[in-house]
Structures are given as structure tokens and as C-alpha cells.
Amino acid sequence: MSLIKIWEFGQMSIFFGTFRRASLALGLLLPGAAMADWELNMPKGVTGISAEVYDLHMLIFLVCVVIAVVVFGAMIYSIFAHRKSLGVQPAKFSHSTKAEIIWTIIPIGILVAMAVPAADTLIRMEDTRNSDLTVKVTGYQWKWHYDYIDEGFGFFSTLDRQSDLARQVGSGIDPSTVDNYLLEVDNPLVVPVGAKVRLLMTANDVIHSWWVPELGGKKDAIPGYVNEFWFQAEEPGIYRGQCAELCGRDHGFMPVVVRVVPEAEYADFIAANAPPKAEVVPASLSAPASEAVIAVPAAAPAPVEWSMDVAMGEGEGLYNAHCGACHQPNGQGLAAAGFPAIAGSAVATGDIAAHIDIGVHGRPGTAMAAFGPQLSDEELAAIITYQRNAWGNGTGDLVTPADIAAAR
């Protein structure tokens, strides 16, 4: 990062172009007006808990303000009234047991008064019993996977394509032209309104944290452990949040979107997605493999003929979604960040078995995760075929789902 660049940046007209907005912001700060459409505070949210949390937040905030007024008031008074330039003589006192006892006891009282409602809310937050619906949430670098474990299906939820294009360094796309920039996903989590939804949170690689402010909080997704979190949304709507635990390069780009819908719409959603009993999973490559926990119908052979065209066609999108963050859509990788290029890579142009192996099993101890558990045979076959043929790799190899299955 050159300092020159920052300097030029300061000089650039962007500064003036956006200056208007900055002055607007300052303007809003002063009169305290027009705060309605201005997000300065914690949202009240749409769950009982989130509203309680909001009230608690306002309570402690106001208590702090009151104490601040008293303490700062005394200080400011003394700064103005007890200054040498007014010719005052300094007093000599240096302690007062009475005063000190008072200002030890009173804060303790205030703290107790805060602690009681806080503990009360906390105990309710921790009560995960009697849920109506359970979804297993798995954090991946850098996407979420939702498993409707009672219904037997699941899907990945990744950053929306529009945002993804706009957020590349030097993309030239103005983020303000993208709807819900960075807060939109391809497949949101869908839940019925009024239901107590229990989320079982875990992660596949590193720690992530699932956070939607309007649903009243966050919970860490920890690899190797399952955490519980619940919410009960009272109003239909679309609620947005982000991963809140640093999880690597694209931590800023794994949003959480929850659609809270009326019961009927939810039923439609389930009907459209749940695998009808005994029927075959459609080879639609966007339906990924679920975790082993629930009995997923065995992946039957794809109805479509597996060909170079199919593999390359599906491979590109899948590659961009799952590998592009590191190896980059142009296959050049990011040497500076330790992500090797696939274009011209010895692995991607050499032995097929080794290439499949790294795709399925990853490289332990590096950011290169095992994609075997994340992706279906078809998906991985398409991606690897794509990697072996795109960007002039041109090996002409067609990897089939059976090859992947054999390597698992």
C-alpha cells in the first residue's frame, strides 16, 4: 500500500463529490432532528427478546448519561469557578470519609438495579426449549449453510452476485447503485412468522458468528461444537445481518439474510424444496449435499448426460461462488495472500487424481478447505473440469461425478 496512493486519494474529487453527504451528516447531528430515517441506535427489532434488549440498552445508556451529567457537571463547574486566574486560594482538604463512603455505596446500588433486569432477560434468552422449528446453521469460509433438518434439505447462502461484483478492488461499480450492498444473499433463510426458531450453530473451518440485529443478537459458530440460539420473529419481513467474527479474508462478505414469511408462504417454500419422499434429488447443481446428520436420499445419477459442455457451463458459476474468493475468477489467485493461481498450476494441469484429491480433501493447515463435505459429486466434478480447462489450462480432461465419488 503506497502512501502516495492515499495522498492522491485525499486529493481526488471523490472527496468533494461525497463532501455533500458528510456535511449532511453533520447537519443531522446538530439539531437532533430527522433521526427517524437515520440509524444511530440499536434497532428495536422484531422479536420479544430484541425489544427487551433494546429497553435494557436504553436504560443503561440513560443511567450512564445521568451519572455523566452529575460528574461532568461538577467538573465543569469547578473548572470555571475554581481557577487561579479568578484569584481563588486553594483549599487544603484532602479526604472525607463520608463522601467516599457515599460514592462507593451509591454506584453499587445503581449497579444492582441494572443487574437485576439484565439477569432476568438473560435467563429468558438462554431458554431454548419448546421450539417450533430447528435449522442447523454451518459457517464456512465465506458462506452459510442452512439445513432444515426436519424437512431433509439444505442449501448454501452466499453473497449476492451484484454485491460481489461491486466489491472487488477497483470494480468501478458505485456501491450505492447496488440494492442492499453487501447485505444480500442468493438464498436467504426462510422461516415462518411467530414460530420459535431454534438455530443449531456450528462451523466447518474457523469460527464465524451469526448476527441479525433485528432478531436480537448473535451466536458464534464454532468448529467441532454446536451452539444453540433462538428467535421468534413477530413481523414478516426481510432481516439482514453479517458474520460478526473475523473469519479470514472475506469475513466482510458473508451476510446473513432471513426472510420471515406468513405460514402459508412458508409451507410453499418447504413444498418447493423438500425432497418428496422416494423421489430423486434434482440434479440442479445449486442444491448442495447436506451434512451426514440427516438421512439425505442417496445422490442418484444425474438425469442429464454428463458432458464437457454441461461440466464447463455449471463449473464456471460454481467455481466463482466457491473458489473464486481465493483463487479469483480469473484463476490467477492472489500470490500476496498466499492463494496460488489455478491457471497454469502444476496441480491443475498435472495428475487428475492429485487435483481431485486437493478439491475433495483440501490441504490441512492451510486455508484450502476440504470441499468434499460441502459439495456434491456433480458440483465438484464440474468445478474441477472447469479448472482443468479454463484460462488456457486446456488439458481437455472431463472429470465425472463417479471420479469424485471414488476419491471420497
Phi, psi of 154 (to 5 degrees): -165, 170
CA–CA distance, 198 with 235 (Å, rounded to integer): 17
The DSSP bridge pattern shows strands 255-261 and 189-192 to be parallel
67 near ligand HEA, judged by CB under 6 A = yes
Distance, CA of 373 to CA of 268 (rounded, Å): 28
Residue 42 as a binder of other proteins (CB under 8 A): the answer is yes
Other CB atoms within a 10 A radius of the CB of residue 109 amount to: 8
Q: Between residues 224 and 303, which has the closer beta carbon with respect to other proteins?
A: 224
The tally of CA atoms less than 13 A away on the side-chain side of residue 144 is: 33
Shortest CB 62 distance to ligand HEC, Å: 45
> Which residues of this chain interact with ligand HEC, rule CB under 6 A?
141, 322-323, 325-327, 338-340, 342, 345-348, 355, 358-359, 363, 366-368, 371, 383-384, 387
Give the phi and the psi of residue 204 in degrees, each rounded to 5: -100, -30
Shortest gap between Cβ of 221 and ligand HEC (angstroms)? 16
The residue within the footprint of ligand CUA, chosen from 254, 310, 325, 380 (CB under 6 A), is 254
Binding to ligand CUA, residues 107-136 (CB under 6 A): none
| Given 34, 122, 271, 402, the residue binding other proteins (CB under 8 A) | 122
* 53/212 Cα distance (integer angstroms): 13
Residue 75 binds to ligand HEA (criterion: CB under 6 A): no
Nearest in space to 49 (alpha carbons), one of 228, 192, 219, 233: 233
The only residue of 234, 250, 265, 357 in contact with other proteins, by rule CB under 8 A:
250
DSSP-based three-state secondary structure for 57: helix
Q: Give the span between the Cα atoms of 163 and 181, in whole angstroms.
A: 5
Task: Pick between residue 19 and residue 72 the one whose CB is nearest to ligand HEA.
Answer: 72
Q: Which stretch binds ligand HEA (CB under 6 A): 20-28, 34-42, 64-72, 363-371?
A: 64-72
Judged by CB under 8 A, the residue of 46, 137, 182, 356 near other proteins is: 182
Q: Print the binding letters for residues 275-294 with other proteins: x by CB under 8 A, - otherwise.
A: ----------------x-x-
* From 34, 69, 71, 406, residue interacting with other proteins (rule: CB under 8 A): 71
Q: How far is the CB of 347 from ligand HEC (least distance, A)?
A: 4
- Of 1 and 36, nearer to ligand HEA (C-beta) is 1
- Specify the residue, 151 or 265, whose C-beta has the smaller distance to other proteins: 151
8 Å CB contact between 381 and 404: yes
Here the cell at position 93 is 482538604
- Closer residue to ligand CUA in complex, CB, 142/339: 142
CA 296 remoteness from chain centre: 26
Q: Give which of 139, 126, 107 is closest to 251, Cα–Cα.
A: 139
Select 54 or 181, whichever has its Cβ closest to ligand CUA.
Answer: 181
d(CA 348, CA 323): 13
Nearer to ligand CUA, 143 or 388 (CB): 143
What is the pattern of x (binds ligand HEA, CB under 6 A) and - over residues 82-121?
A: -------------------------x--xx----------
Distance CA 371, CA 157 (A): 16
CA pair distance 71, 69, nearest whole angstrom: 6
Alpha carbon distance 166, 144 (integer Å): 20
Q: For residue 208, state whether it binds ligand CUA (rule: CB under 6 A).
A: yes
Q: Give residues in contact with ligand HEA (CB under 6 A).
A: 64, 67, 71, 107, 110-111
